[in-house]
Every structure is written in C-alpha cells, then in structure tokens.
Structure 1
Amino acid sequence: MTTATAPTQPLLRQYLVLTKPRVTQLAVFCAVIGMFLASPGLPDWRPVIAGTIGIWLMAAAAFAVNCLIEQEIDARMLRTARRATARGTISNMQVILLSGVLGGLGMVVLYNLVNPLTMWLTFATFVGYAIIYTMVLKPLTPQNIVIGGLSGAMPPALGWAAVANSVPAEAWLLVLIIFIWTPPHFWALALYRNTDYAKSGLPMLPVTHGKQFTRLHILLYSFVLFAATLLPYVVRMSGLFYLVSAVVLSGLFVMYAWRLYKAYSDELSRKLFRFSILYLSLLFAALLLDHWIRLL
C-alpha cells in the first residue's frame, strides 16, 4: 500500500507516533536505572515518579519537534513517509502546540516536583537534540550521530540528578557508555536503509563514505564499547555480576559487528540493529541487579 492510499490513522495515534514512543521508552528506562543507581537503597518514590513523567514528557516533545523539522526529509524516506507531518495530515501549528504542551508540562513537573537541576539538564538535552542535532549537525556532517549522540546519551544523568540533585562521575560514566553505543547502533540502521538515506539528502556515513567504511567504524566502535562497559567494574561502581554480564553482552555485540564487517548483508545489519537495542536494555538492567545484589 502506498503512502498516498494508506488510510489515515486516528488523530491521537498520529500524535503518539510523532513522539517516537519506542525510542522514548528506552530513554526513560535508562533514566530510571540512573535514579535507582543514585541511591544506596530504594530511592524516594516521589522524585522517581515525577522524574519519570517529566523526562518522558520532554523527550516526547523533542521527538515531535524533530518530526516537524524533518517533515520534508521524512516524506522522501520509506521508513518515515507515513508520519503525519510527512503526509500533511497534522499541521505545523498542531505539532508546535503538541510539543509546547508536552515540553511545558515536563518542565513544570521537573522544576516543582523534582529539582531545578534536573529540569535545566533535561531542557539542555531537549535543545541539544531538537535544535543542535536535528537542525545543525544532521544535515551538515556524516559524523552527526557521533557529535549529536551526547543528547541521546543523557537520560542516566537526568535520572541520577532527579534523585541525588547532583551528577557525579558515576552518572557520566553511564552517559559515556550510551554515547559510544549510539554510532554503531544507528549506523547499523543506516546501512540497511542506505537507499532511503540517499533519497533523504542527509550526509549519513554509508551514503558519504560507503558501506565498507561504515562497517569498519561499527567494528571499531564495538571494541571501544566493550572497553567502556568494563569501567563501572574498574571504578568499583559495580561487582562481578555486572562484569560477567557486560563481557557476555559486549562480546556478542563485537561478534555481530565482526560478522557484519566480514560479510555484509541487510539481514545481518538488521540483526545488529535489533540486538543493539536489547543489548543496552540488558546492560543497564544488569547494572541495576548488580547494585541490588551488592546491597544484600
């Protein structure tokens, strides 16, 4: 079914799609892990709930702005052509109002029910993703996802700030892991969506430098990611349970990256992309379980 003849989704569903709920869920999950790691025991439930709601609202607002800015690009790509902004079934003003309401509510919740530090850090993340990454970096350089990845890596720091009202080195270590994870995760998607990105006009790495170059960079980043995931154990932030989990998960990541480098196929690229999402979720879950095991 083509975009032109596809039935229009209910309005509420169209709004929901613009907030990229799957990506938002992963970001909020990492933020919640940061909240629990920030406390030696169970954290106060009030900043956890309010922080989760506030961070979710502002993340959803940032993704809506991203869809608004990239509506012409989305219309040229098969993966995104059915978004309401790309099809024109939702007006620019409606998206602005949606983002304004979600972002405004998120800032109010974080400032009044959590703490000002979390609100300002989350607002800076909003600006970094919706404005600096989407408007400036993404159309400018094939290293866009590397430079702009800091915004997407911030959720653990936001969650930590929500509970502790501070962002110590341990929180930034979690940010570092996601920062290094982001390029190989996204490049795996860009590889099997290479034709789509070529149509978009965006200077994505597989388009500007070719698939072989991109596969090499995915492999190199996978080795760096392996090393980075060992750091929580090295600095005694975590114990043996996390160490074993990190070695196994990162070893699988390297294996997928190596296979992709040696013999490319779209199917392998899809598998790496899907595994990378599961990888990050399991890695952070292992951090939390290790944290609780060490408290027993």
Structure 2
Amino acid sequence: MKGTGIRQRLRIAQFATAAAPLALSHRLRAFYVLTKPRVNALIVFCAVIGMFLAVPAGLPDLLTVLAATVGIACVAGAAAAMNCLIEQQIDARMTRTRGRPLPRGDLAPAEVLGFAGVLGGVGLTLLHQAVNPLTMWLTFATFVGYAVIYTVLLKPRTPQNIVIGGASGAMPPVLGWAAVTGEVPPDALLLFLIIFAWTPPHFWALALYRTADYARAGLPMLPVTHGPEYTRLSVLLYSLILFGVSLLPYATRMSGIVYLVAAVALGARFVHYAWRLHRDYSDALARRTFRFSIAYLAWLFAALLVDHYLPL
C-alpha cells in the first residue's frame, strides 16, 4: 500500500509538472489574442509604409523604423486589450467574440488592465526616447481615440460610431510619417484620408452579416438602427467616395502611374462588390466583401510603396 501511494504521488507530480507549461502557454496565448494580432498587423503595415514614403529618396533610418514599428505595435496592442476589457460583457453576448480570453474566463480583468498598462507604457516610452515626442503624443492620442472615445463614447451610442471613430484607425501612416520626419505634411494626411474613407464600408460589410449579433449585444450599428437596405446603400456610396479619395495621391503628384493603375483596379473591384451587395445581397457576399476590403487596403498601400521606389 505504501509503495502504491508513493507511485500515485509521483504520477501526480509528473502530471503537474507537465501541465504547468501547458497552462503558462495557454495564458501567454490569451495575452497575445488580446492584442488582436491580425488587426494589429494591418495597422503596423500601414505605419511602416508611411515611414518609407516619408523619405523622398533612399531608405529611412532603419533603427528609427524598428523602434517606431515596435512602439506603435505595443500601443496598438494595448488599445486592443483595453477594448477587450471595456467590452467584455458585450463580447460575451456576441457569437463572433465570445471566444475571446475575458468572456472565456482565461484572464482576470485586473490582469488585462495591468497588461495593457505595461504594454502601452513600454510602447510610448520607446517612441519618446528612440523616435521623437511628436510620434509619441500622436500615438497616445490615437490610443485615447480608440480605447476611450470610440469604445466608450461612440460605439454604444451612435450608428455613426465607425465614421467618427474611424479617425483613430486612420492614424497609422501619419504616425509612421511623423516617426521619420518629425512632422505631418499634407501627403501624410492624404494617407489618413484614404483609410478614413475605407473604414465605413469595411466595417459595415461585417455588420451586415453580423446584424443579429450586434442587435443581441445592444450595439447601435447601422444595420441595426437603419436596416440592411440603408446600410447596403451606404456601403456603395462610401466605396465610391473611397474610389475618388484613393486617386488623390496621383492627382497631387505624390505617386505615379504604377499606383494609379493599382488604385483604379482595386477601387473598381471594391465598387463592384458594393454594387452587388446593394443589388443582390447575401451573407456570403457580405463576408467576401469584408475580406476583400482588408486585402484592398494592404494592396493599395503596397502599391504606394512600389510606386515610390519604381516610378515610371
């Protein structure tokens, strides 16, 4: 009996030793998920493009690019974590978000608050010390715009939450430009305007096939408050606005023919998706439109970069 008890205790100890790393790995992944890495990747990508476009010829200082990229990514991750913290009750009611760490109980709210504070503090300190104060303050303003103004004030109160709150989401290329030059010229604001015009049709495409989810959560998204037909028309109109805005870099001679061809092709495809949504809606089409909108923005900014270094 004594030998059996010892063997049982050894097995328990071995199980606990094996389970501890798994538990730690699960928690680390939960913190990682809080930062919304896929969204963060697009944010950082647009910021980095802004850094390279800010240099008329040649390459920006690579140490500055590295420091700014890490700093902006940290603050963006902190903003995403704060969004998850503030919206944990809403997330628990939505099919799309109920699997996030807080609704699942994987992390405590205090842990998320501490994580966001540390991550954001590290990012802002890095931007201030290794980049420049302007970039740090602009990034901090972007954090407040998303985590407070959009998440707390706009999203639960107005169907125009995406339109107004889109300003914070449009800041990454401005942050990148400021990181390299220490200023915000008109060209940087053109990049801001492109993302600002892109945001409503991008998110409303998602809201169209997630209308029941948003209604269940009590959020006044446009399809919930104004109906699907009005929202589909709004997607079409904003896609046309986006098409026009996307041509401004060429019109102002910021970019050349390579970008123009890409902007026209990508914009025409976006408008085609929006037109089909308006005329012959289905959830599957709205889902494809949403996914295309992400690819659209990435390819459009990639075209800006290619045109910058391979002008024709």
Q: TM-score, normalised by structure 2?
A: 0.91
Are 2:57 and 1:38 equivalent residues in the alignment? no
Partner of 2:163: 146
Residue-by-residue CA offset, 1:68-89 (whole Å, 9 max, x unaligned): 0000000000110011111222
Alignment counterpart, residue 15 of structure 1, candidates 20, 26, 31? 31
Q: Which segment drifts farther, 54-63 or 38-47? A: 38-47
Q: How does 1:257-296 map to 2 (within 5 A)?
A: 257-294=274-311
Residue-by-residue CA offset, 1:186-233 (whole Å, 9 max, x unaligned): 000000111111111000000111100000000000000000000000
Q: Which segment drifts farther, 38-47 or 242-251? A: 38-47
Residue-by-residue CA offset, 1:113-154 (whole Å, 9 max, x unaligned): 000000000000000000000000000100000000000000
CA distance in 2, matches of 1:172, 1:213: 29
Partner of 1:3: none
Alignment counterpart, residue 212 of structure 1, candidates 223, 229, 234? 229
Alignment counterpart, residue 220 of structure 2, candidates 197, 203, 208? 203
CA distance in 2, matches of 1:199, 1:18: 22
CA distance in 1, matches of 2:51, 2:136: 15
Supply the AA of the counterpart residue of 1:69: I
Residue-by-residue CA offset, 1:56-99 (whole Å, 9 max, x unaligned): 00000000000000000000001100111112221111001110
SS of residue in 2 equivalent to 1:52: helix
Partner of 1:4: none
Q: How many residues align structurally?
A: 289
1:46 deviation in Å? Answer: 1.1
CA distance in 2, matches of 1:9, 1:52: 25
CA distance in 1, matches of 2:271, 2:59: 34
CA distance in 1, matches of 2:166, 2:145: 9
Supply the AA of the counterpart residue of 2:201: P
Supply the AA of the counterpart residue of 1:95: V
Alignment counterpart, residue 24 of structure 1, candidates 13, 37, 40? 40
Higher Cα Rg: structure 1 or 2? 2
Are 2:86 and 1:86 equivalent residues in the alignment? no
SS of residue in 2 equivalent to 1:148: helix
Supply the AA of the counterpart residue of 1:245: A
CA distance in 1, matches of 2:89, 2:149: 18
Q: Which segment drifts farther, 81-90 or 199-208? A: 81-90
Are 2:130 and 1:113 equivalent residues in the alignment? yes
Alignment counterpart, residue 256 of structure 1, candidates 273, 277, 301? 273
SS of residue in 1 equivalent to 2:159: coil
CA distance in 1, matches of 2:47, 2:264: 23
CA distance in 2, matches of 1:217, 1:107: 37
Supply the AA of the counterpart residue of 2:54: A
CA distance in 1, matches of 2:93, 2:270: 31
- Unpaired runs of at least 5, structure 1: 1-6
Q: TM-score, normalised by structure 1?
A: 0.96
- Give me the CA root mean square deviation: 1.3
- Identity fraction in percent: 65
Are 2:80 and 1:99 equivalent residues in the alignment? no
Change (3 A) 1:8 1:270: farther
